Chain A
Amino acid sequence: MTSKMNKNEKICLIQENRQLQQKLNKISSQNMDILSIANFLDKLLGTKDLEKITYMIIEHMNELFEGKAARFIRKEPKKDTYACYQMKNGNIKKTLLHRNHLGKDFFFMYCNRFYICNSNKDTSFIAIPIKYEGENIGLITIKEFNNEKLENKNTKLMEVYSLILGVVIKNCLLIGQRQIEKKIILEQNRKISEDLKYAKKTQEYLLPKGRHDFGKYNIYCNHIQIQCLGGDLYDVVKYNDNKIIFYIADISGHGISASLLTLFLKQSVIGISKSFNDDLISPSEILEKLYKRFNDFMVDTELYIGILIGVLDIKKDKVTIANGGHNVEPIHIKTNERQVISYNIEGLPINSWFKELKFTYQDKSIFLNKDDKLIFLTDGATEVMLNENEILGTQRIEKVFYQNMNLNCDKQFDEMMKYINSYSEEASIKDDIAFVCLNRIN
């Protein structure tokens, strides 16, 4: 009895052993698969190139299932474009497809889970859709695979592959997209830089440097451009044989908007000056008309014009000035009296701030004696920072003019710039500098 029991037990034990052996083989195979995934992942993580990663994936997956052919289609960084890799006899061929041309062959890409068809050996295939957070990234298809290779596989591993490959490819796609965007931005920047170069040249044409002679007077203009496109502007317009219109302006802001406003200003002042009757022209009226024109089209409250405009009456040796919010006072060098003074002339900038506000601009008359100079500056000169808390200011500039009062306007400009640059170690010029100097020579 004992012997018989032992025999039965033996049979049971052998069967159990066999089953255990089978389970062990399966576990061992699955462990190998996990190790294989880990090694594969390690390689993938060490590569950032999308093309290389794609090759690695198609080769690895084909090897895993011993397929006769493999195909991997995945998104490209470029919108609506897919790359299709066909692997046959160890060779990989790549083609690019538009999303509309994917066709029914890629149906499984839109499935949520992998799909195995092994009813017929010749037509068998495994389709593994690659997804990232619901987004269809790609599809791997292994054709005529070795069915035995599938037997011991934990099907969950297929899902793991799908998840991991989704993350890896999505990362590469994002990097690729950033590179495309970066390329576009760089190209746009290059084009803008080219445009800005032309705009800068045009603006330099609007700011002619040099001297204009009008009988016993001359007007010298110069400027230092710190910004690529600045908001400083000056102009000298001959109104008639006796009267000269001149102005200096600073448009709040820089760049294209400020630069375009300089064009508006230049054209407007010329246009407005033509609307006056002969000798009856006043700077305050020019400003009032300019204010109206500005408000006809400008809605941006941050953009405004600070302008100091003057009319020189050659016969009367009189300069009439009105201020439209220009923040640097005109400086009068009274050479024969050995005196330098500045004039506080107030006025609202040319702006679109207060639609209902009623106001007028005021004219201020200044008479010029022989050798007198009247200098107009923009705040780039006076607002040079000397230290953290102190700016250069008008008074220091006045002193420079006083010390050099016998020099011509061009030399006065040079001396002023020398003085400003003498602070260059500590100070920094923050803004463009424009300079207009009116000189009565006899």
Chain B
Amino acid sequence: MLVEASVQENIKLINIFGEIGLENHSEFSESMLRSIQGDESIILVNMENVTYMNSMSLGIIVKSYSEAKKQNKELALCSLQENIKKLFVITKLDRIIKIYQNREEAIEFLKIRM
């Protein structure tokens, strides 16, 4: 698992790679909370390259979302694999955290909100 942060058009882009499971749960939590820090008010988490995510990681995403909210920031997700998207739908989290089809669509929408 790898978490990589960059800035694109004033949006903090967090790219996650690999599997998120029990073995890297703490690392993922720390990386996410560190990555949402910064001046950018919009954070986009690109999950295109996440092949597996356990239910525990859902809590970390929500924690990061809540942390971003506390800092008056907006956190959105994009490019979720079907099995991961299902996890957000079944838990109704897709109605709380904004999920975009892909990065391009996300950036287009989020730019307007800036």
- A residues engaging B (CB < 8 A)? 227, 250, 252-254, 301-304, 306, 323, 325-327, 329, 344-349, 351, 353-354, 357, 359, 379, 383, 385, 388-389, 391, 393, 430-431
Segment touching A, from B39-47, B71-79, B82-90: B82-90
CB–CB A353/B62 < 8 A: yes
Interface centre among B29, B83, B87, by most chain A C-beta atoms within 10 angstroms, is B83
CB–CB B91/A325 < 8 A: yes
CB–CB A348/B87 < 8 A: no
Distance between Cα atoms of A418 and B86 in the complex (Å) = 26
CB–CB B92/A301 < 8 A: no
CB–CB A306/B22 < 8 A: no
**Which residues of A sit under 8 angstroms from B51, Cβ to Cβ?**
388-389
**Which residues of A sit under 8 angstroms from B19, Cβ to Cβ?**
385
CB–CB B29/A327 < 8 A: no
User: Do most interface residues of chain B lie in helix, strand or loop, or is the interface mixed?
Assistant: helix
CB–CB A391/B83 < 8 A: yes
Distance between Cα atoms of A182 and B66 in the complex (Å) = 39
CB–CB B91/A306 < 8 A: yes
Distance between Cα atoms of A317 and B86 in the complex (Å) = 30
User: Distance in Å from the Cβ of B36 to the closest Cβ of chain A?
Assistant: 14
Known contacts A302-B63, A351-B62; is A253 also within 8 Å of B56 by CB? Answer: yes
Name B91's closest neighbour in chain A (CB-CB). Answer: A325
Distance between Cα atoms of A82 and B78 in the complex (Å) = 63
**Which residues of A sit under 8 angstroms from B83, Cβ to Cβ?**
383, 391, 393
CB–CB B54/A347 < 8 A: no
Name A380's closest neighbour in chain B (CB-CB). Answer: B54
User: Distance in Å from the Cβ of B110 to the closest Cβ of chain A?
Assistant: 22
Within 8 A of A (CB), among B74-110: 83, 86-87, 89-93, 96
Nearest 3 A/B pairs, CB to CB: A302-B59, A325-B91, A252-B56
Distance between Cα atoms of A250 and B56 in the complex (Å) = 10
**Which residues of A sit under 8 angstroms from B89, Cβ to Cβ?**
346
10 new A-B contacts at CB < 8 Å, known A253-B56, A301-B66, A323-B90: A253-B25, A253-B59, A302-B59, A325-B90, A327-B87, A344-B90, A346-B89, A347-B91, A385-B19, A431-B22
Question: Out of B21, B29, B90, B93, which one reaches A302, CB within 8 Å?
Answer: B29
Interface residues on chain B, size class: 20 to 34
User: Distance in Å from the Cβ of A94 to the closest Cβ of chain B?
Assistant: 46
**Which residues of A sit under 8 angstroms from B63, Cβ to Cβ?**
301-302, 353
Name A390's closest neighbour in chain B (CB-CB). Answer: B51
User: Distance in Å from the Cβ of A361 to the closest Cβ of chain B?
Assistant: 10
CB–CB B59/A346 < 8 A: no
Known contacts A304-B59, A346-B92, A388-B51; is A430 also within 8 Å of B86 by CB? Answer: no
CB–CB B86/A353 < 8 A: no
CB–CB A385/B92 < 8 A: no
**Which residues of A sit under 8 angstroms from B37, Cβ to Cβ?**
none
15 A-B residue pairs with CB within 8 Å: A250-B55, A252-B55, A252-B56, A253-B56, A254-B22, A302-B29, A302-B63, A306-B55, A325-B92, A327-B87, A327-B90, A346-B91, A357-B96, A393-B83, A430-B22
**Which residues of B sit under 8 angstroms from A325, Cβ to Cβ?**
90-92
Judge whether B5 is part of the interface by a CB distance below 8 angstroms.
Answer: no
CB–CB A302/B56 < 8 A: yes
**Which residues of B sit under 8 angstroms from A348, Cβ to Cβ?**
91-93
Judge whether B68 is part of the interface by a CB distance below 8 angstroms.
Answer: no
CB–CB B66/A391 < 8 A: no
Known contacts A351-B62, A430-B22; is A346 also within 8 Å of B56 by CB? Answer: no
Distance between Cα atoms of A295 and B21 in the complex (Å) = 26
CB–CB B91/A430 < 8 A: no
Question: Out of A302, A379, A393, which one reaches B54, CB within 8 Å?
Answer: A379
**Which residues of B sit under 8 angstroms from A353, Cβ to Cβ?**
62-63, 66
Known contacts A347-B92, A393-B83, A430-B21; is A383 also within 8 Å of B62 by CB? Answer: no
Question: Out of B21, B58, B66, which one reaches A252, CB within 8 Å?
Answer: B58
Judge whether B1 is part of the interface by a CB distance below 8 angstroms.
Answer: no
Judge whether B60 is part of the interface by a CB distance below 8 angstroms.
Answer: yes
Distance between Cα atoms of A343 and B22 in the complex (Å) = 28
Distance between Cα atoms of A347 and B52 in the complex (Å) = 22
Name B59's closest neighbour in chain A (CB-CB). Answer: A302
Distance between Cα atoms of A347 and B56 in the complex (Å) = 17
Distance between Cα atoms of A211 and B93 in the complex (Å) = 35
Fill in one digit per residue for B22-43: 1 if any A CB lies within 8 Å of its CB, else 0: 1001000100000000000000
Distance between Cα atoms of A91 and B29 in the complex (Å) = 60
**Which residues of B sit under 8 angstroms from A431, Cβ to Cβ?**
22, 54
Interface centre among A303, A327, A347, by most chain B C-beta atoms within 10 angstroms, is A327
CB–CB A303/B59 < 8 A: yes
Known contacts A301-B59, A393-B83; is A349 also within 8 Å of B91 by CB? Answer: yes
Interface centre among B56, B63, B96, by most chain A C-beta atoms within 10 angstroms, is B56
